[in-house]
Structure 1
Amino acid sequence: MRALDGWLRGVATLWAAAGAAVHLYFGGFGFPEPIWTRGFHLTVFVPLVFLCWPAFPGRSPAHRPSLFDWLWALAAALPHAWVMGNWAAVSDRMEYVDPFGPEMMVLGLLAIVTLLEATRRAVEAGMMWMIVASLAYMVLGHRIPGLFNSRPFTAAEIVEAAWLVPTAGGIYGPLTGIVATVIAVFIIFGAFMQGSGTGRLFHNLGAAAAGRYAGGPAKVAVVTSGLFGTMSGSSVSNVITTGSMTIPLMLRIGYRPAVAAGIESAASVGGALMPPVMGAAAFVMAEITGIPYGDIVVAAALGAVLYYFAILVAVHFEARRAGIAPMAPGDIPAWREVLADAHLVLPIAVLVWLMMERWSGNFAAFWATLAMVAVAAARRRTRMGWREVVGSLAHAGFTMAPLAVAIAGAGIVVSALTATGLVVAFGGIIKQLSGGSFPLLLALLALTVLVLGMGIPTTPSYIIAAAIGVPQILELGGQALGLTQQELLLPAHLFLFYFAVLADASPPVAAAAFAAAAIAKASPLAASLHATRFGIAGFAVGFAFLYDPGIMLRGGPAEALLAFAILAAALTALTASYAGFLIAPLGPLPRLLLAAAGLAGAFHHGLPDSVRLAGAAGTLALVAAVQAVAARPRAGARPGARHDGGNQ
């Protein structure tokens, strides 16, 4: 993103802030007609990309838009401004039936081309090429023989499907509607959390709670990233914001650069899994499934706790094995420093309460944002003046711009998949490869989502994966698990959502891990490999959503406690195995036993729950007992003599 100078910075800041302010107003007092709202959203934020994101970093002007950037911005605004001016006619027209005239054809092409360039600049080049491939398939699909054959499409049908089919997909489809309404207001709430000092509260809380223990900075990174991720909405921005503080601390006390980057990226991607605000994809899930967002938050809560529990355990074992000390006392804030910002949790409580009371997400976020400003005013250190308010609105606007582009692009992909029938064809291929085996189907879908996540952000990746994978899970899962399709709907979406999130930290291309590696000056591939091992709980929890309903708080407290205990024991065994440490360094045989018990407990759902729990917990207890006995001083040994080789 450019660092604009002078009056240009003021114009861009006011532009972004004004756009965000209008979205916030609509969130509290009601949105206009859907087509007008989507048109306004895109008119504000797509042109902003061309002014604030350079075409070629390093070659384009770094502090001002070029003439071509201004022309791109004007071209990007025209089709969406036209939709705003003609919203009634657009809403009333019959898709693929009413004429799609030359004027609409030109505007549609302009909307598609500018969106592709905006995606390349502000999102990912891989996302741009996926959109191009989707459009190319609509053009050439009728020439492909066999399973991938589709019907011919006219040029007008292709442009209309990509641009102006509000009920099904495309740039003006329901996905853009979700971003322009609910997600936009939550992004604004997150920006006000940062502007009020809630980020400082989260960091100080993490440092005060975990800094005194072995590997303190790493545990601070885990806690802080989990808390901060609930408001950032982006794993990469989470890495950059918290990693700039935590990674240097980890390096200073002895963590290897790649390990420090892996810890930070694994913790940062998990922010999207952590209620009460789980990122944009969770709101999309609520819209697609028709399940209230509050129900999704409740179902996902225990899995998110397990994810961070496993990272903390892994970090602890890593620190003990490497002999890494706690944080320096001078770096640990006093609890009075934490409590000085404690009042800032009240707006979060307001948000959770309103959502649990089944108010709409945008209404809850609107009042939580106003509550944040009011509560922050209670103390001078958190009080937000007009500059902080405008700055928070502008920050929200700059965050929304690339997200608006990414979601509109995902709408084009979904529209192409649906119109051509490729969803059915691709789903048929996965089903055929699975051979009717439900576990193999899930493994193939997980791999598909991880591959999709190499080139596109979490939310579009989840959207496309859900279109392909959910019907397959509902069909085979009903037979394999004995559940109705309605009972399987939320677990299926959460399964795919988890793997879309984890793709940001999994090799070979992992945006969050690469950002952390840049801060740590480490190998990106090594950082992503470490991030995968620290985040292994996400893979286990993803499968548990389908096989262990207790993890979604279904079936009563006993079932939930049992599911949590099984996964907690299994993940502890796995993390101890790959760290090579439990209560003392582990040899090859104990590591192998712990790995086998952990994998069986986490993934072998064919075993009875009692066997899975006994195997994981029993192996942990056995290995710990053997190490404890071995660590006892031998009879006659001198007090203080060492018998562990100095490794503990």
Structure 2
Amino acid sequence: MRELSGPLRLLVYGWLAAVAGVHLYFGGFGFPEPIGMRGFHLLAFVPVCFLLWPALKTSRMDRPTLLDWAWAVASGLPHAWVMWNWDVVSDRMEYVDPFGPFYMLLGITTIVTLLEATRRAVEPGLACMIIASLLYMLLGPWLPGVLNTRVFTWSEIVESAWLVPTAGGVYGPLTGIVATTIAVFILFGSFLQASGTGRLFTNLGAAAAGRFSGGPAKVAVVTSGLFGTMSGSSVSNVITTGAMTIPLMIRIGYAPAVAAGIEAAASVGGALMPPVMGAAAFVMAEITNIPYSEIVVAAAIGGVLYYFAILAAVHFEAKKLGLRPMTREEVPPWREVLADAHLLIPIGVLVWLMGARWSGNYAAFWACMAMVAVAFLRRRSRMGPRQILAALINAGLTMAPLAVTIAGAGIVVSCLTATGMVVAFGGIIKGLAGGSLPLLLILLAATVLVLGMGIPTTPSYIIAAAIGVPQLIEMGIPMLAAHLFIFYFAVLADATPPVAAAAFAASAIAKSGPTISSLHATRFGIAGFTIGFAFIYDPAIMFQGSAWTIFAATATQVAALTLITSAWAGFLLRPLGWPLRLLVGAAGLFGAFGHVVPDDARLGVVIIMLGLAFTGQWMTRLRTAPG
């Protein structure tokens, strides 16, 4: 991203602060008509992408060129027209009313500028996927078999991508949820950071975990989990927390690639942790019509299990390597943590309002107001005009690439829907699965992980959900469980090879190989794979069922994940020999994936195996102890 200076910096950052403030105001006092709001949202953020993100690595990094300004102006004109003429767009009969040359000009301009903004500010892979979707509409009639489509005219292709807001496209429901709910939550996260809540999370992680073996790694896990609830981006989470934790991990003895893997696995999990999950969770609420509060509750146990498994893996790794805790000087005293404890009140306000079934944008608005008020209770956290302005600017900088990401994903979804590719691709997967639910789940998980190689979590989830969820529902899987399954693998794609954005960012800090770092990230994030399948086979972890079934399902996962992480590290209370290591790992995998066996039997197997392994190692340690 460019580093602007002087009047240009004031202009661009002032614009970002202003439009972010408008989004905040709408969150508390009501939004304008949906199409007009979506037009305003894209007008606010798409042109900025051309001013802040250069076209090439060799482009000027201190100011935009005349060509960048031309791109910015061109990208804003169609959205300004839609914002001003929202009633015309709302009253159109899609594919029936004429789509004349003026509409074609605006539509093509929107698509081309959005592609370029996506390439610059998000991922070239997502831009390629958008192009491929449009080409499929054009070339589909000449493709064989299930890939064959009807003939689409040029005007139908452009209209589908641009001006079909009921089914998708640039102004579809996905852009709507970002322009309203997600935007206000991003503002809340920005206010959290401006108030010093990040300092609270860092100190809390260090005070809680720093005194234990391999302390910096555990601090990374705890801090990244807390940061992830407000950052909304695994990469920004890595950059924020990894700059501190990765060098500390390397200093006490972790290999650079291992340190990068731990940070990446911990950072991607932030999107899985309530109360503020990633943008994809809000999209899930919009797609399913399930209240966000219910999604948060259903995901709570899974999020905790994910971080439990990382902490267990980090602990066994540290014990095996004999790594020391953080020094007394490096661990902040609890009084330092408690000095910022008042900053948790706005998070409590958010949770309370969401639990009371208030809309997400309204809850986030009042949480922002509560943060400004509560921060005034202590001098160290007080937010003056400068801090509030910085929070608005940072929120705008986060919203800009997200706006083009979601608009691009809307084009893909619209193309897949218009061509019937959602049904066709779903049919291919269904045919390969041959009626087997386990095989269908494996194929869908692989599909999501492949999609995640080139595009961010949210569009990856959106596209995969459109393809896979209907197949799972047809197999009798409840809607929420099906969406959470897809969601988990979309999140994990940021940490799994061969292309893993979070792991690559962590490897840049650790100065390690990106591929080996992503392999270690997969190892430490193994719980995401087991929990993803548990949503399908163990619905009790979504708080469904009796208290005993919820406890049993959770305990089974805890014991299974302990066995799996212990076997992978080769350490429990002491090093594991290969025969015991294989046995422990097999028992863990059975507990996590042996769903053909009754739940009580699986729980009994993993508890007995864990007890036997623990007792055997404890007795061996007593026999070999000096004296």
Shared fold, TM over 0.5: yes
Q: Deviations over 1:77-121 (max 9, x none)?
A: 011011112111111111111111111100100000000000000
Q: Deviations over 1:319-366 (max 9, x none)?
A: 000000001111100101000100000000000000000000000000
Residue 27 (structure 1) aligns with: 27
Residue 66 (structure 2) aligns with: 67
Alpha-carbon distance between aligned partners in 2 of 1:414 and 1:558, rounded to the nearest angstrom: 41
Superposed displacement of residue 604, structure 1: 1.2
The AA in structure 1 aligned to 2:319 is R
The AA in structure 1 aligned to 2:106 is L
Alpha-carbon distance between aligned partners in 2 of 1:204 and 1:377, rounded to the nearest angstrom: 20
Residue 47 (structure 2) aligns with: 47
Q: Which of 598, 622, 627 is residue 632 of structure 1 equivalent to? A: 622
Q: Deviations over 1:547-575 (max 9, x none)?
A: 11110001122111101100000000000
The AA in structure 1 aligned to 2:501 is A
Q: How does 1:393-404 map to 2 (within 5 A)?
A: 393-404=392-403
Superposed displacement of residue 586, structure 1: 0.7
Q: How does 1:163-174 map to 2 (within 5 A)?
A: 163-174=162-173
The AA in structure 2 aligned to 1:271 is G
The AA in structure 1 aligned to 2:497 is P
Residue 644 (structure 1) aligns with: none
Alpha-carbon distance between aligned partners in 1 of 2:38 and 2:617, rounded to the nearest angstrom: 62
Q: Show structure 1 runs of 5+ residues with no match.
A: 479-484, 642-648
Superposed displacement of residue 633, structure 1: 3.7
Residue 425 (structure 1) aligns with: 424
Residue 378 (structure 1) aligns with: 377
Residue 331 (structure 2) aligns with: 332
Residue 279 (structure 2) aligns with: 280
Q: Deviations over 1:156-201 (max 9, x none)?
A: 1100110111111100111000000000000000000000000110
Corresponding position: 1:348 with 2:347:
yes
Q: Deviations over 1:480-536 (max 9, x none)?
A: xxxxx6xx0000000000000000000110000000000000010111000001001
Residue 490 (structure 1) aligns with: 480
Give the length in aligned residue pairs.
Answer: 627
SS in 1 for 2:606: helix
Residue 104 (structure 1) aligns with: 103
Residue 192 (structure 2) aligns with: 193
Alpha-carbon distance between aligned partners in 2 of 1:458 and 1:251, rounded to the nearest angstrom: 29
SS in 1 for 2:381: coil
Superposed displacement of residue 623, structure 1: 1.6
Identity %: 70
Corresponding position: 1:118 with 2:108:
no
SS in 1 for 2:379: coil
Residue 529 (structure 1) aligns with: 519
Corresponding position: 1:36 with 2:26:
no
Residue 208 (structure 2) aligns with: 209
SS in 2 for 1:505: coil
The AA in structure 2 aligned to 1:175 is L
How does the TM-score come out when normalised to structure 2? 0.99
Superposed displacement of residue 219, structure 1: 0.3
The AA in structure 2 aligned to 1:298 is V
Corresponding position: 1:263 with 2:239:
no
Superposed displacement of residue 640, structure 1: 3.6
Corresponding position: 1:599 with 2:589:
yes
Residue 2 (structure 1) aligns with: 2
Residue 577 (structure 1) aligns with: 567
Alpha-carbon distance between aligned partners in 2 of 1:287 and 1:627, rounded to the nearest angstrom: 50
Q: How does 1:62-101 map to 2 (within 5 A)?
A: 62-101=61-100
Q: Deviations over 1:372-417 (max 9, x none)?
A: 0000011110001101101100100010000000000000000000
Residue 249 (structure 2) aligns with: 250
Q: How does 1:304-323 map to 2 (within 5 A)?
A: 304-323=303-322
Residue 551 (structure 1) aligns with: 541
Alpha-carbon distance between aligned partners in 2 of 1:273 and 1:292, rounded to the nearest angstrom: 16
How does the TM-score come out when normalised to structure 1? 0.96
The AA in structure 2 aligned to 1:28 is G
Alpha-carbon distance between aligned partners in 2 of 1:252 and 1:373, rounded to the nearest angstrom: 38
Alpha-carbon distance between aligned partners in 1 of 2:21 and 2:82, rounded to the nearest angstrom: 21
Q: Show structure 2 runs of 5+ residues with no match.
A: none
The AA in structure 2 aligned to 1:278 is M
Q: Which of 554, 566, 583 is residue 556 of structure 2 equivalent to? A: 566
SS in 1 for 2:184: helix
The AA in structure 1 aligned to 2:52 is C
Corresponding position: 1:14 with 2:50:
no
SS in 2 for 1:330: coil
Alpha-carbon distance between aligned partners in 1 of 2:403 and 2:422, rounded to the nearest angstrom: 24
Q: Which of 581, 589, 592 is residue 579 of structure 2 equivalent to? A: 589
SS in 2 for 1:373: helix
Alpha-carbon distance between aligned partners in 1 of 2:250 and 2:16, rounded to the nearest angstrom: 37
Alpha-carbon distance between aligned partners in 1 of 2:12 and 2:626, rounded to the nearest angstrom: 66
Alpha-carbon distance between aligned partners in 1 of 2:623 and 2:361, rounded to the nearest angstrom: 63
Superposed displacement of residue 63, structure 1: 1.1
Q: Greater CA deviation, 253-262 or 9-18? A: 9-18
Q: Which of 522, 525, 530 is residue 540 of structure 1 equivalent to? A: 530
The AA in structure 2 aligned to 1:42 is L
Q: Which of 603, 606, 609 is residue 599 of structure 2 equivalent to? A: 609
